[in-house]
Amino acid sequence: MASGLHDSSFSNPVVRWIDQRMPVFTMMQKEYGTFPTPRNFNYFWNFGALAMINLMVMIATGIFLAMNYTAHTSLAFDSVERIMRDVNYGWLIRYVHMNGASMFFIVVLVHVWRGMYYGSYKAPRELLWMLGVVIFLLMMATAFMGYVLPWGQMSFWGATVITNLFSAIPLVGDSIVTLLWGGFSVDNPTLNRFFSLHYLLPFVIAGVVFLHVAALHITGSNNPLGIEPKGPQDTLPFHPYYTVKDSVGIIVYFIVFAFLVFFSPNYLGHPDNYIPANPLVTPAHIVPEWYFLPFYAILRAVPNKLGGVLMMFGSIAILFVLPWLDRSPVRSMRFRPIARWLFLLWTVNFFVLMYCGGMPAEEPYVTISRLSTAYYFGYFLVILPLLAKIERPLPLPESIAKAVLRGGGPLPGAAVAKPMEKA
Amino acid sequence: MADTLAPSSSSPGMGGAHGAGAHGPEQGTKRDFLKLAAGSFAAIGVGAIVWPFIHSMNPAKDVLALASTDVNLAPIAEGQAVTVMWRGKPVFVRHRTAQEVQEAEAVPLGELRDPQADSDRVERKPWLVVLGVCTHLGCVPLGQRPTDARGDFGGWFCPCHGSHYDTSGRIRRGPAPTNLAVPEYSFTSDTQIRIG
Ligand code: HEM
Ligand code: FES
């Protein structure tokens, strides 16, 4: 080894020359080539890679939209219509971006659900999990501001209602809202800054994704059994095993994505957003985009303004402390006979909230939202802490290899191993 | 930010060389003082440069300049209402009927969530001038047109989350915390008001 040069194992002279001076190839080889990965991943483990691809799709389509978009209240709506009608393939780029936001939330929600079902948030992956929650929050902010850009009725009134949430903060609330607006209502200064931030935040997300992956590569991946790999017999090199498995998922993902874009591009949207923004008339029934509905339902379930706002933000903030609310040492719900069902119920309950969020604020939806909100929080604050004390988990398999190489499930041999004691 | 300014002295282990010297450990060293001074200086500097950026997001001078709007009341018949724009927001100007005024005045203050007498909310009877912005999350309530739903108290009804306002624009039911705000305005003649 020449002094000061990295000891590269690549033989291609060009690659080797670069790698000796800046070992990015060695790093990629280590982190994505030979990286030891549990051998028992199921398809839920595709969704991280899918989210990464989705982010790249959003940035690529967004940059091309920005070339034709005008961030001014009197021009924004028309500039988007021009993208749709006159710009070559503008319709395609916009529909990919628009539906890409929905695909992003589908993918990330499944990814988060996977983490909750298989206990990926537990030690030692707490920080990894919390970085994920940060990404989720940034995505929500980005999507919210993007939805304002076309300056339709839903853009305008969505922006009005959401920015007004901050007016619930005691004392400084109104000043904060004026600061967000840059005026006395949602108007041109608001649109301009939202465009600026909408362009910026995806790159911030990319930065946090980098940290998320960096943290992942310290702890290694969790897996459907929720037990740590104990040696080489439990893992496979990431490439080619999981590059191939991810590719299968990516193809399915693009099929679903293409179906939305080409056959029902407006299915997940709202027709009122094709009406230009009118600050004097609120649409009779305003609803946020589908991915905000569960949280919107929580907001409306509380009959007090500040309370509703706190509960809504709290419903996401609580995910930050999930690793400390669930003290059960068993990660995977496969081995938690009670938690498993109560978590599946939580999942159904999430969809109930989503449904109620899209309905008018009337009975019976108000009462249903209240009960669902109670269960949403109850699961985290009561059920999980309690189960850590009283639930008796099923016996864990001795190792990943033992469990998966001799035909699935816990082995008889492993079953006699100590049943997990309570924490 | 600030503590990166003195990296060479930031670890307590380094302090041994100085702390064990002429000064007692309790006394603090010259370096501690320099660290503190440099740190506070940097913190103030950062604060001073952050404020212009934050304040640049507040309303600009031209936005603040769009302050007042004149409304001619003559064409508004009794029972009718008009909506005018002021600072980008709708303002409701309602020529209330005698019955509506009487209803507004008859409500005992104890029944109100945000107690305010009708007389404290109007300049001259029967005119009611309020911001057409729901105090919940900012939607424009219905009730300006005679065909609109006006809610259970004959004033306005906000469709977004169901707030009901009475004929004085006071919140009576629903999630909104306060009455519809009364903007600053004055009568410039018997048939003319200036808002703002
Ligand atoms: C995290 C990634 C992103 C998400 C979730 C996202 C989301 C959205 C959403 C929901 C819309 C509204 C679509 C519609 O209803 O028309 C939108 C519009 C827009 N976005 Fe993004 N976006 C992302 C990244 C970007 C980036 C990186 C750029 C620019 C470089 C960008 C530029 C635009 C533009 C110009 C529009 C307005 C045109 C339109 O409405 O179609 N986006 N975005
Ligand atoms: S904005 Fe009027 S009730 Fe919520």
Ligand nearest to the CA of A268: 1
* Architecture of the domain spanning B63-195: 3-layer Sandwich (2.102)
- With an 8 Å Cβ cutoff, the interface of chain B facing chain A consists of 54, 57-60, 63, 83, 85, 87-90, 132-133, 136-140, 159-162, 175-177
CA distance B129 to chain A (A): 16
Distance CA A327, CA A343 (A): 15
A161–B138: do the CB atoms touch at under 8 Å? yes
Q: Residue A96 is encoded by which pair of tokens? A: 């990919």
Task: Grade residue A303 by pLDDT with cuts at 50, 70 and 90.
Answer: confident
Which residue of B137, B139, B140, B142 is the best one to mutate when testing the A interface, meaning the one whose CB has the most A CBs within 10 A? B137
Q: Report, as an integer, the average pLDDT of A113-140.
A: 97
Q: Under a CB-based contact definition with an 8 Å cutoff, are residues B177 and B114 in contact? A: yes
Can A285 be counted among the known catalytic residues? no
Which ligand is located closest to the Cα atom of residue A155? Answer: 1
CA of A253 to the centre of ligand 2 (A): 38
- The CA-to-CA distance between both ends of chain B, in Å, stands at 44
* Per-residue model confidence (pLDDT) at position A406: 66
Express each pLDDT in A40-67 by its tens digit: 999 999 999 999 999 999 999 999 999 9
> Checking DSSP bridges between strand B81-86 and strand B185-189, what pairing results, if any?
unpaired
Report yes or no on A47 lying in a domain: yes
Nearest CA to ligand 1 atom 30: A63
A380-407 pLDDT, tens digit each: 999 999 999 999 999 999 999 999 886 5
Does residue B180 line the site of ligand 2, with CB under 6 A?
Answer: no
Among A184, A188, A367, pick the best mutation site for testing chain B contact (most B Cβ within 10 A): A184
In a domain, A197, yes or no: yes
More confident site: A129 or B88: A129
- Whether residue A419 is predicted with pLDDT greater than 60 in this model: the reply is no
A47 alpha carbon – ligand 1 mean position (Å):
21
User: CA nearest A122: which of A400, A391, A324, A338?
Assistant: A324
Q: What is the DSSP string of A326-385?
A: ---S---GGG-HHHHHHHHHHHHHHHHHHHHHTS-S-TTHHHHHHHHHHHHHHIIIIIHH
Contact A183 B88 (CB under 8 A): yes
Q: For A137-172, how does the pLDDT look when each residue is reduced to its tens digit (9 = 90+)? A: 999 999 999 999 999 999 999 999 999 999 988 999
Both A144 and A161 in one domain: the answer is yes
The residues, ordered by sequence, that sit 6+ positions from B134 with a Cβ below 8 Å of its Cβ are: B140, B141, B158, B160, B163, B176, B180
Q: How many CB pairs (< 8 A) connect A and B? A: 82
| A341 and A222, same domain (yes or no) | no
Residues A263 and A322 placed together within one structural domain of the fold? no
Domain shared by A379 and A247, yes or no = no
3-class SS at A221?
A: coil
Q: Is residue A9 part of a domain?
A: no
Report pLDDT for B69: 87
Q: Identify whether residues A269 and A300 lie together within a single domain.
A: no
Residue A280 C-alpha, separation from nearest chain B C-alpha, in angstroms: 6
At residue B174, the pLDDT reads: 86
Buried b (16+ CB within 10 A) or exposed e, A180-214: bbbbbbbbbbbbebbbeebbebbeebeeebeebee
Find out whether the peptide bond into A23 is cis, omega within 30 degrees of 0: no
Shared domain check, A264 and A149: yes
Q: Is residue A4 part of a domain?
A: no
Please, what is the average pLDDT of chain A? 93
Q: Is the pLDDT of residue A417 over 90?
A: no
Query: Under DSSP, is residue A171 helix (H, G, I), strand (E, B) or coil?
Result: coil
Residue A417 lies in a domain: no
CA distance A150 to A38: 45
Could you tell me if residue A418 is inside a domain? no
**Residue A121, C-beta contacts closer than 8 angstroms, at least 6 positions apart:** A115, A129, A322, A323, A326
Answer whether residue A11 is part of any domain. no
Write down the pLDDT at residue A128.
98
Which of A166, A280, A302 to mutate to test binding with chain B, by most B CBs within 10 Å of its CB?
Answer: A280
Identify whether residues A160 and A184 lie together within a single domain.
yes
Instruction: Identify whether residues A77 and A219 lie together within a single domain.
Output: yes
> B160 C-alpha vs ligand 2 centroid, how far in Å?
5
**Residues A154, A126 within the same domain:** yes
Domain boundary among A261, A286, A311: A286
Chain B residues closer than 8 Å to A157 by CB:
139
Q: Check whether residue A218 and residue A151 sit in a common domain.
A: yes
Give the pLDDT mean for A218-232.
95
The number of domains in chain A is: 2
- A36: β partners: A237
Instruction: Give the pLDDT confidence score for residue A317 in this predicted structure.
Output: 96
Domain with residue A59: its CATH number is 1.20.810.10
A3 is catalytic: no
Q: What is the DSSP string of B13-82?
A: HHHHHHHTSSS-TTT--HHHHHHHHHHHHHHHHHHHHHHHHHHTTSPPHHHHH---EEEE-TT--TT-EE
Domain boundaries, chain B: 2-56, 63-195
Ligand 1, atom 37: closest residue by C-alpha: A149
Q: How many CA atoms lie within 13 A of A419 on its CB side?
A: 7
Per the structure, the complete domain to which residue A302 belongs is given by: 288-392
Which bin fits B162, alpha (ψ -120 to 50), beta or left (φ > 0)? left
Phi, psi of A185 (to 5 degrees): -160, 170
Ligand 1 midpoint to CA A64 (Å) = 10
A374, two tokens: 């109670």
The mean pLDDT of A115-120, rounded to a whole number, is: 97
Distance CA A309, CA A302 (A): 9
Determine if residue A270 is labeled as part of a ligand binding site. Answer: no
- B138 contacts A164? CB cut-off 8 A: yes
Greatest Cα pair distance, chain B, in angstroms, is 90
CATH number, residue A330:
1.10.287.980
Based on its alpha-carbon atoms, the radius of gyration of chain A, rounded to whole angstroms, reads: 24
3-class secondary structure, A259 = helix
A398 part of the active site: no
Residue A236 and residue A100 in one domain: yes
CA B101, CA A386: separation in Å to the nearest integer?
Answer: 58
| Contact across the interface for B177 and A160, Cβ inside 8 Å | no
pLDDT digits (tens, 9 = 90+) for B19-69: 444 555 567 889 999 999 999 999 999 999 999 889 999 988 888 876 688
User: Could you tell me which chain B residue has the CA closest to the CA of A177?
Assistant: B58
Give the SS3 label for residue B123.
coil
pLDDT of residue A407: 52
CB contact under 8 A, B59 and A185: no
Q: How far apart are CA B162 and CA B148, in angstroms?
A: 14
Strands A235-237 and A36-38: antiparallel
Average pLDDT per run of 10 along chain B, which is 196 residues long?
A: 44 45 67 94 93 90 80 91 89 93 91 91 92 93 89 90 92 91 92 90
pLDDT at A360: 84
Lowest mean pLDDT among A118-132, A288-302, B8-22, B120-134: B8-22
Please give the pLDDT value at position A294: 97
- Distance of CA B141 from the midpoint of ligand 2 (Å): 8
Residue given tokens 């018997």 in the structure block: B190
Beta strand ranges found along A234-307 (DSSP E): 235-237
Which residues of chain B are within 8 Å of residue A179 when distances are taken between CB atoms? 54, 57-58
CA distance B91 to B129: 7
Nearest CA to ligand 1 atom 23: A58
- B93 sits in which H/E element: strand B89-95
Q: Based on the domain organization, do A241 and A206 belong to the same domain?
A: yes
Residues 6+ apart with CB under 8 A from B65: none
Q: Is residue A236 part of a domain?
A: yes
Record: contact B59-A285, CB cut-off 8 A? no
